[in-house]
Each structure stands twice: as C-alpha cells, then as structure tokens.
Chain A
Amino acid sequence: MLSQRILDYTDRQIRWLFSAPALLVMLGLFAYPMFRLIWTGFTDEVLSSEGKIEFIGVANYVRAFSEDPHFLRSIWLTLYFAVGSTLGQLTLGLGLALFLNRQFKGEATFRMLLMFPIIATPVAMSLVWSMLMNPMMGHLNYYLSLLGLPGSLWAADTSTVLPSLIMIELWHWVPMTMLVLLAGLKSLPKEPFEAATVDGASRFQMFVNITLPLLQPYVFLLLLLRLVHGLKVFDKIFVISGGGPNRASETLNIMIYEQAFGATNFGYASALGSFLLLIILLISIGLFRFRQRKWSY
C-alpha cells in the first residue's frame, strides 16, 4: 500500500524525474565549466602551477588588447575565415540549389555523392587535402599545370594559407547549404510563381521578386548558423596548417588552444575564451530573436 503510494507520487512528479539527468549533465558539464572559464580568465593560472593561483583582475584582458599584437591579428584572421567561408557557402550553395531545383535522372545518386564531404571524418579529409595541396607531390598543382597555370604553395605560404583553408571549408559545407536551400526551395508555395507566370514575369524578375524574398528566412538563418560555425572551426586549421606558417592562420580557436596547452598560460587562454564566448552569445541572442519572429520554433 505504501509502496503503491510512493509509486503514484513518483509518477505524478515524473517531469522532474525526466528532466533531472539532462539538467545535471548540463549543469556539471556546461554551466559550471562556463563559470570556471570566466573566473580563470581573471587569474594567472598556469597548467603546471600547484596551488598558487592568484586573482589578477583584468590583467589578462589588458594584455590581450594592448600587449599581445597577435590577439588583434587573430581576431582579424578569425573573421576573415568565418565571414569568407560563410559568404562562399551561401552564394555557392544558393547557386547550386537554384541550378538543381528540378527533376532529373540520377538525382538520388547525385545527392548521395554530394553527402560524402559532410559525412567523412574531418581530420581524415584534412589529411587528404593536405596531401592534395602538397606543393611538390600534390595533385592540385599538377591539374593547374595541365591548364597551363602556375602552381601554388597553398597552405605553405602566408598569403595563400587562409584562402586555401576557406576553399576546403567550402568543399566541406557547400553540399550542406545546398541541400538545406534546396529543401527550402522545394517547400516554397507554388501559387506566387504561377501568378507571376500569368503576369508575364521573366525568370530573372521571378527570382528577384519572388524566390529571394520567400527564401530570405532560410538564407538569413543559415547565414547566422554558418557564421557561428565558422567562428568555431578548429580541426581543419589545426591539422592542415597548425596555425602557421608564421601564425598566418592562427585564428582565435587555435590561439586559445596553443596558449592553454602549448604555452600553458591557462589564465590568459581562459580570458581569450571568455571573449570568444561573449561574441558567440551576442550572435546567439540575435539568432534567437530572429527565429522567434520568423519561425514558429
């Protein structure tokens, strides 16, 4: 009788029972570490230090903004990479989606093949790309020479390393933006297009006046999502260039990693991390506002 009452009680409080595990994991592995990160950003903690961590106020931030010339440069490199690859993904993805928005033989096979870059392990593919981009033995320079073009140093040169990385990022993610936009295109209502055809609009006019405005929520959402993703890219850069040559591709993510696990400046790395987190938080708020306004979820 008593055990039955306990069972009944638990069953009524089920929502707490149900959310507790997820809540605990996220508190322990997200909330507390975030707090810890921000706190560490105000200390001089180093990886090997035993017990003598001191609170040093905003010294780490002062150091970043006024004493470490590479910090501002790495912000620039991060933005360069993130914005460049986001714009590239959207324009190429949209172009391909428009081009493929029809029915054709072999559609299924085509889509399957295009999924490969998204699925394949990024570290493995980065390795493959670094071999393809090898200035001496790589295939890319060989194909350029077939076209009568001079070879490039790709990731081995300070001026070409970021464009090369962006190129790989595009290879990796354009198929995805394309699939998303294609799904968006296919879900657009038919009526406006039919009405415009009746009104005698040209293809281009239809694109500018109907397709783009209708597709705009998808594009904008994707833009923000890809931008945030671009600000977080680590694997590719770390494997292919390691931030080099001469720190020319050392974005914030790489810099934080190097400061923390290479130079063991944990306090300083945490300050940089807090800064990155703040930027992402601001974009998230924007994204959330937009999502609430335009979309039901």
Chain B
Amino acid sequence: MMADQTIQKINRLLFYAILIFIVTVFFFPFMWVAFTAFQDAVNAGAVPPDLLAPPTLDNFRQVFEEGGFISCMINSTIVVALTLTANLIVSLPAAYVIARNRQNWMMFLILFMQMAPWITLLLPWYIIFKKLGLYDTYIGLVLSNLTFMIPFTIWLMLGFFEDVPVEVEEAAWLDGCSHLGTFVRIVVPLVKGGIITITTLGFMFCWNIFLFPLVLSGYGTKTLPVFVYGFMDDNQLDFGPLAAASLLTMLPVIIFVLINQKYFRQGIAFGGGK
C-alpha cells in the first residue's frame, strides 16, 4: 500500500518535471525577448544577464523614433482588416456553393492552391503588379493575401456549410425567403463558429506574412514583418531595440489569437495547419 502511493507520487512529480521542461523549451524565447526588450544597452547583450537590472523603456523609444514603425503598424492593420473582410465576402458564398455541389476536381484545385509554393506565385505577380500599378498599394497586398486565404477559407468552411441541414434552407424558401435572403439570414448565422475560426487564423496568417509584402510593398505600404527585417539590418548587434521591435510586432497577433483561443485550436486541429 505505502509503496504504491510513493510510486504514484514519484510518477506525478516526474510527470510535472518533464512538463515544466517542455514548457521551458518552447516558451523560453518569449521570456527572453520580454526580458531583453526592457534592458539597457549594456545588460541586453550580457551573458549571463543581470536579472535584477532596473528595466528601461529606452528600447521602445528607439523603435518608435526609428522612422516608420507606427506607419508600418497602421499599414499592417489596414491590410489585415481589408483582407479579412474581403475574404469573407468572396469566400463564404463560394464555399457555400461548393458545399452544395461538391465535385472532386474542385476539391483537388482547392487543395493544390493551398500547396503551391508562394515564391512561384510571387515571380509572375511582381511583373503583373508593376504593370497594373498594383505594386506598393493596399489593394495589391490584399489581393496577394486573398490568394491563400480564399482556398483555405473554402476548405475549412465546407464542413461547416455541409452541417447546415438542407431542410432548414428549404423551410426558409417556403416561408417566403429568396436564395440570397436564406443565405444571409439563415445559413451565415449558422456557420458563425467557422467564421470566427477563419478570422482568427486569417488574422494570424495575414499579420505574420512576410514574403509577399517583402517584394510587393514599397515605402508606402510596408508592413510590420518587413519593417522588423529592415530594422535588424540597421541595428545588427543592438539586442535591446531588436527585442523591443520583435515584441511589438508579435504582441497584437498573440493577443488577438489568445482571445479566440478556442476557435484557434479548432482550426489547427482541423487542417493540420498550414
């Protein structure tokens, strides 16, 4: 009896020890960046760091003073908001139609569009966008984001739309609703969960995307990830400001996703992610 209990206790202890180790491995960089962002120039790069050094906001001041941080943040916000709105308007109706008339070739195209490497899209886009005057415009960035958001949204929403019983729609038609009215008043409210999921994941994808704006945005529409990349080149070994810039860049997306945690996990478990 006693021995059994002791073994159980040791087992539990061991389990939590391993758990804490795992958490440390995966969470450590965040602790480091949060710590370093508040250190002065001397302590930020010191090994081992002085954990008790007084925190300072100088690094953040430097990030904000470096031209463009605020405007890049605004650009990012605008592009994300526009993309997510446009995405819902374009993808939801299409996903609904496909869900009601599913065919194999459609499914394959949607899958393949998610698989295609972004760099191969970027080459022709660069030429086309320059020609059409879409280079360095919000529209251009939104369009580039839509290209991966649309197939992903359709893919994810199919299941949600298929779960809406056809009879419910038919009941609405008989009640006197048009097709469009049925879609807006009956179907869309029933896939609300999917819409929140797609918006959460979409916020993450669009906020984080680097390659498209790296090539397709200029001074006018530069987004935060591109800003951080440039900031890194300018401040090679200045760990404090670099950490502050990294922290500021990822804070909005982390907060947004954590608010919708439940939906985020659903989305991840669904698609095996991107």
Residues on A lying within 8 angstroms of B by beta carbon are 7, 11-12, 14-15, 17-19, 21-23, 25-26, 29-30, 32-34, 36-37, 40, 96, 99, 104, 106, 110-125, 127-132, 134, 137-139, 141-142, 171, 173-176, 179-180, 183, 221-222, 225-226, 228-229, 231-232, 234-235, 238-239, 253, 256-257, 260-261, 266, 269-270, 273-274, 276-277, 280-281, 283-285, 287-288, 291-292, 297
Known contacts A18-B96, A21-B94, A287-B111: does B268 contact A118 (CB below 8 Å)? yes
B117 sits at the interface (CB 8 A): yes
B224, CB-defined interface residue at 8 Å: yes
Q: A113 CB to closest chain B CB, in angstroms?
A: 5
Closest B residue to A256 using CB positions? B119
Whether A292 touches B104, Cβ cut-off 8 Å, given contacts A99-B18, A221-B272, is yes
Residues of B within 8 A of A114 (CB): 22-23, 26-27
Produce 1/0 per residue, B143-170, CB < 8 A to A. 1101100110010001100000000000
Which residue on A lies nearest to B179, using beta carbons? A14
Shortest CB-to-CB span from B150 to chain A, Å, is: 5
Q: With A11-B180, A120-B253 given, is the CB distance from A128 to B208 under 8 Å?
A: no
Task: Indicate whether A115 sits within 8 Å of B117 (C-beta atoms), given known contacts A121-B250, A123-B229, A137-B45.
Answer: no
Of the candidates B124, B146, B204, which one forms a contact with A119 in the assembled complex, judged by CB atoms under 8 Å apart?
Answer: B204
**Judging by beta carbons under 8 Å apart, are A128 and B29 in contact?**
yes
Residues of A within 8 A of B188 (CB): none
Flag whether B89 is at the interface (Cβ < 8 A).
Answer: yes
Closest to A223 in B: B272
Q: Please determine whether B242 and A131 come into contact, CB atoms closer than 8 angstroms.
A: yes
Query: Would A127 and B250 count as touching, CB distance under 8 A?
Result: no
The answer to whether A30 touches B147, judged by C-beta atoms less than 8 angstroms apart, is: yes
Beyond A23-B94, A113-B26, A114-B23, is A284–B268 a contact (Cβ under 8 Å)? Answer: no
Q: CB-CB < 8 A to A173: which residues of B?
A: 273
Q: A11-B178, A116-B254, A137-B237 are in contact. Are A179 and B210 (CB under 8 A)?
A: no
Asked whether B147 lies within 8 Å of A277 as measured between CB atoms, the reply is no
Residues on B with C-beta less than 8 A from A266 are: 123, 127
Count A/B pairs, Cβ under 8 Å.
260
Residues of A within 8 A of B197 (CB): none
| A288-B246 contact given A23-B94, A112-B258, A239-B232, CB 8 Å threshold | no
19 residue pairs bridging A and B, Cβ less than 8 Å apart: A18-B93, A18-B94, A18-B97, A19-B93, A26-B113, A29-B143, A30-B113, A30-B121, A114-B27, A119-B204, A119-B250, A120-B253, A127-B246, A137-B239, A176-B272, A238-B210, A261-B215, A280-B115, A287-B115
Interface residues of B in 203-235 (CB under 8 A from A): 204, 207-208, 210-211, 215, 224-226, 228-229, 232
The interface of chain B, by Cβ under 8 A from chain A, is 15-16, 18-19, 22-23, 25-27, 29-30, 32-33, 36, 45-48, 89-91, 93-94, 96-98, 100-101, 104, 107-108, 111-113, 115-128, 143-144, 146-147, 150-151, 154, 158-159, 178-180, 183, 204, 207-208, 210-211, 215, 224-226, 228-229, 232, 237, 239, 242-243, 245-247, 249-250, 253-254, 257-258, 261, 264-265, 268-269, 272-274
Given A115-B257, A128-B29, A284-B111, is A297 in contact with B239 using a C-beta cutoff of 8 Å? no
Q: When chains A and B are docked, how far (Å) is the Cα of A253 from the Cα of B97?
A: 35
State A287–B111 Cα separation when bound (angstroms): 9
The 5 closest A-B pairs by CB, nearest first: A18-B93, A22-B94, A33-B124, A124-B246, A273-B120
B contact residues around A260 at 8 Å (CB): 122-123, 126
CB distance from A238 to the nearest CB of B (A): 8
Determine whether the beta carbon of A142 is less than 8 Å from that of B119: no
Q: Quote the shortest CB–CB distance from B255 to chain A (angstroms).
A: 10
By beta carbon, the residue of chain B nearest A168 is B29
The closest CB in chain A to the CB of B102 belongs to A297
CA distance A179 to B122 in the complex (A): 31
Contact B254 A111 (CB under 8 A): no
Shortest Cβ distance from residue A26 to the other chain B in the assembled complex, whole angstroms: 6
* Closest partner residue, chain B, to A36 (CB atom): B124
Q: How far is the CA of A209 from the CA of B120 in the complex (A)?
A: 43
Known contacts A123-B228, A292-B104, A15 near B121 by CB under 8 Å? no
| Contact of B257 with A128 in the complex, beta carbons under 8 Å | no
| Contact with A112, one of B91, B101, B150, B261 (Cβ below 8 angstroms) | B261
